[in-house]
């Protein structure tokens, strides 16, 4: 029996500091980890570092979670969250999560969150995150659940799409009222089937892909999911380029996979589902 709704606190969890980055403000596309210093001899050429690939952050996560191969998350004993290394503040961005194992008591929430959203709890548990919940298919924001789409579980693939307006050329050109009223939307997909708009009127900010897993303390095995930011073919549209279909579905000019954030400026973004 799933007992997600029962409160659970493990010893020391209230005191355990998450591996969250400190007060340093992150910017869109910034890698989670400090780049090593480079020493060069006189006359020696130093090549600039290429952008780091998008992955589940090894530091911006609850310490009770475990990450393998940069893209697989395991967790147990209560709800815990991990964010991706890269965030977005404008445009339309998509990624997918495959549910590998939940067990008898496991549950998951998948979505988007800001850099200050709580990690010792589920995505959407506070006002800084938005999620799609496996149980009942409800949506969650600021700790409030609402009816939304289909329930989901093991072997399902959940697509997460965030749409944010482009930044204005300047506050003067856009006008103060236009800037203040600009907002975004979140859409979710289950096995390629659109569940509709989950959230609208989202305030402008930098949002990161965020995944939360839950199991009751009695479950011996952790819940596990794998994330695809688009570096490999996405499940949407059967692995074919689904960017046009997604863009048409949400009425935006273009949709890009989150993995495009890791490409060099000179490299064209890979199309959704492209091999």
CATH number for 248: 2.60.120.920
Whether the predicted pLDDT of 261 surpasses 70: yes
Flag the least confident range among 11-25, 28-42, 47-61, 161-175. 11-25
Q: Are 122 and 79 in contact (CB under 8 A)?
A: yes
Q: Which of 112-121, 141-150, 180-189 has the lowest mean pLDDT?
A: 180-189
Q: Does 3 reside within a domain?
A: no
Answer whether 132's CB lies under 8 Å from 198's CB.
yes
In a domain, 255, yes or no: yes
Total domains present in the chain: 1
Please determine, for residue 236, whether its predicted confidence score (pLDDT) is greater than 90. Answer: no
The verdict on residue 10 lying in a domain is: no
pLDDT of residue 32: 37
DSSP 8-state code for residue 267: S
Tell me whether residue 193 is in a domain.
yes
Q: How far apart are CA 75 and CA 31, in angstroms?
A: 23
Q: What is the pLDDT of residue 173?
A: 56
Residue 93 resides in a domain:
yes
Query: Strand, coil or helix: what is 174?
Result: helix
* pTM, 2 dp: 0.75
For position 242, what pLDDT does the model report?
66
* Among 101, 97, 61, 67, residue whose Cα is nearest residue 81: 61
Highest-confidence range of 10-14, 117-121, 266-270, by mean pLDDT?
117-121
The C-alpha atoms of residue 234 and residue 226 are separated, in whole angstroms, by 12
On whether residue 162 sits in a domain, the answer given is yes
| pLDDT value for 246 | 80
Residue-number span of the structural domain to which 110 is assigned: 56-262
For the record, the structure tokens of 196 come out as: 């509709």
Residues 6 or more apart from 256 whose CB is under 8 A from it? Answer: 91, 92, 93, 94, 230, 243, 269, 272
**129/113 Cα distance (integer angstroms):** 4
Q: Check residue 176 and give left, alpha or beta (phi > 0: left; psi -120 to 50: alpha).
A: alpha
In a domain, 228, yes or no: yes
- The answer to whether residue 11 sits within a structural domain is no
For residue 213, give the nearest of 105, 74, 14, 29 by alpha carbon. 74
Q: pLDDT tens, 34-67?
A: 333 333 334 444 444 456 899 999 999 999 999 9
pLDDT band, residue 162 (cuts 50/70/90): very high
Pairing of strands 91-101, 107-113: unpaired
């Amino acid at each position: 029996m799933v007992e997600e709704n029962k409160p659970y606190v493990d010893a020391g969890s209230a005191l355990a500091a998450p591996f969250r980055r400190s007060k340093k403000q992150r910017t869109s596309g910034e890698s989670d980890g400090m780049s090593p210093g480079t020493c060069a001899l006189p006359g020696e050429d130093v090549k600039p570092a290429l952008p780091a690939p998008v992955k589940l952050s090894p530091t911006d996560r609850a310490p009770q979670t475990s990450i393998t191969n940069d893209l697989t998350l395991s967790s147990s004993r209560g709800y815990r969250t991990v964010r991706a290394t890269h965030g977005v503040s404008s445009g339309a961005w998509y990624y997918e999560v495959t549910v590998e194992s939940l067990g008898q008591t496991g549950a998951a929430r998948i979505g988007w969150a800001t850099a200050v959203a709580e990690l010792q709890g589920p995505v959407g548990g506070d006002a800084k995150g938005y999620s799609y919940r496996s149980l009942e298919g409800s949506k969650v924001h600021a700790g409030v659940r609402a009816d939304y789409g289909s329930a989901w579980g093991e072997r399902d693939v959940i697509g997460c799409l965030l749409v944010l307006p482009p930044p204005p050329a300047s506050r003067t050109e856009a006008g103060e009222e236009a800037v203040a009223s600009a907002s975004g939307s979140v859409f979710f997909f289950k096995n390629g089937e659109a569940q509709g708009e989950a959230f609208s009127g989202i305030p402008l900010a930098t949002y990161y892909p965020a995944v939360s897993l839950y199991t009751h303390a009695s479950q011996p095995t952790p819940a596990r999911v794998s994330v695809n930011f688009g570096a490999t073919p996405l499940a949407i549209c059967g692995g074919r380029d689904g960017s046009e279909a997604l863009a048409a579905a949400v009425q935006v000019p273009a949709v890009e996979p989150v993995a495009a954030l890791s490409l060099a400026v000179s490299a064209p973004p890979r199309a959704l589902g492209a091999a």
